[in-house]
Structure 1
Amino acid sequence: MRVLVAPDAFAGTLSAPEAARAIAEGWSRQSPGDELTAVPMADGGPGFVDVLHAALGGDLQVVTVRGPVGAPVPVTVLLRDGTAWIESAQACGHPLLDRPDPWHASTVGVGEAIAAAVDAGARRVVIGLGGSATNDGGAGLLGALGATADVPLDAGPNGLRDVTSVDLAPARERLEGVELVAAIDVDAPLLGMFGATKTFGPQKGLQEDEILVVDRLLDAFVDATCGTTPAERRIADSPGAGAAGGLGFALLLLGATTQPGVDLVADAVGLAETCAAHDLVVSGEGTFDHTSRSGKVVHGVAARAAGAARPCIVLAGQVTVGTREMRAMGVESAYGAADLAGVEASLADPYGSLARLAERVARTWSPPARTME
């Protein structure tokens, strides 16, 4: 039996390559005769650059930028044939903070990384959006590229209080002749009930009573950057404008196009063709829930497995979706390590827990061959 293992990173515990190794190791303990192929995946979030570098090659350049609260952090830029790939989480991701700081965390480092890529000769820059600890509407990015305003742009949403005007001309001039692509992992708009703050703000540390306040600050930021009429503000409603706490919105202001990050990575690694060459596709992520829909790795992998008429199953830390929603995503079955060992035990040993889960799942999906009597 040929098994393709194509997981995302398990946020905060395992990188995508580590998750793939754990699944393959556990599966092989149960079914040593199976042929396993590991293709680690990403959707624009953590691991985006590593996965693309493994698939495409190219040169890696490390630049130092300001992190979400100002401390210097390293960001790896992948350069190949005039294109640069950047992972925004390296500049403003959750692991860079000792504790959540959604009011002050800034995307300034992402803008500085883009500037470094352009200075290195890139005429096309692809920015992976996902895993951010920020919710500043991309104000920091714009400021790092030269935009000016009547308030500080590098102080998170708290700095946007009383904003009335933003001049984007210097940033647009800085990027003249450069194609920007936002590799998004969600298609949320910037504002409102399904926007960045309401949907992802709690994950970044915003309390329920703070969500509306921050959304109003971003609403005023839209007025200051776009104008006040519905037609002028339409860009804030674009799918992906709410990606990475509004980084998508800032990039759209600078003329970027959007593309699902998982599609970009899938094309780079030849995922559709690889699915067709296997009998079973196994994907995975830390938590398989309602946010795993369009734009996420599991959804993208399942779609390509379906296109090749191959079953797709998911191994996750936790599974919180029902069978009907799972099947709507193209997933045959999903299994959680927490159900096998408990939440605390699975978090204490994520690699071992995932390997044990894979070993157990292999009993169902790759039973031992029967011998003829």
Structure 2
Amino acid sequence: MSESAFAAMPDKNGYFGEYGGCLVPEQLATVMQEIDGAYQEIRKDPAFKKELQELHRYYVGRPSPLYFARRLTELCGGAKIYLKREDLNHTGAHKINHCLGEALLAKYMGKTRVIAETGAGQHGVAMATACSLVGIDCEIHMGEIDIAKEAPNVVKMKILGAKVVSVTRGTRTLKDAVDSAFEEYLKDTDSTLYAIGSVVGPHPFPMMVRDFQQVIGEEARDQIQELEGRLPDALVACVGGGSNAMGLFTAFLNDTDVSIYGIEPAGKGLETPDHAATLTLGQPGAVHGFKCYVLQDENGEPLPVHSIASGLDYPGVGPQHSYLKDIGRVEYRSATDQECLDAFMTLSRREGIIPALESSHALAGAMKLAKEMKPDQVIIVNLSGRGDKDADYVANLLNL
């Protein structure tokens, strides 16, 4: 596919091939069109671009480093493993990249409140941070199970001034938090912006979040050429909704010599019902106002899903990921809960870096991949977040 074709995605109706779109009631479709129009205006505004670039540099701490994980590479054998250190961003993950953009968009549109969902809490913390910065009220919907697992992030959201809504229905995890946030948003779309936390949802969010996140790959592309004098042989990132992955992948989609891998949560095993491997085992369908691969029952209803990483616990996936799977540009693999835990502990003890459980899926995939490759080859792993939020949970699991 030509560079211009990838760059033109999605089409004017929000589709990446057959995936995406805006499958919502007419009232909400009008609101989405307003958001799209405002985004198209603001993205071309030199003042907006300058403000966002300055916040990246002086507030977030960008560019995030690209770090050669020497001891991890020695342990695995094979290819050299580089880590894109999104864990070093302010708030501890890649989520701040799009949250700043969405908060500035809300301010530009004259909104006085932002509503968002969160799984692991990283999007919630980043959104609460961005809203505090621009002076807008913030309400975060989070599943009751995730609130218990990710208590440190819940505390941070409250300190930052956000209202945290515990979602007690259904699976009490990310899908139900999305449902709850959408319902609350529909009560007041005039003064509120629903800030979706990944490259999912109705158009324009998959496009908008991708655009705000693609700074990751743009930086990594320049950094690896400075460090190695060439492009990497492979990219690896975890995929739940898929924002951190699209952030890394977008800058390399036209480089056919660069292999790209997304790592999904295999949970307790792909042979069990306790996983969230949407692209691996799902089928094309619809969820939350857009078409994508979905883990669904015979009636097309989303199935309950499971992952040790709350941020990956979602039955759908970004529409662009669905498209990239179909055309074969990205290979989607999976890692189990146990492989995730093993990678979490390995990076902590080999490199002194405690990764998020979400990011640990990518690490698990990269550690396997490195062994399939040669010592003169290079892998970039998107270390999408740090593991402070997961430390107590992992310690309890492992009796540390």
Where on the TM-score scale, by shorter chain, does this alignment land: which range? 0.3 to 0.5
Q: Which structure has the greater CA radius of gyration?
A: 1
Q: TM-score with structure 2 length normalisation?
A: 0.35
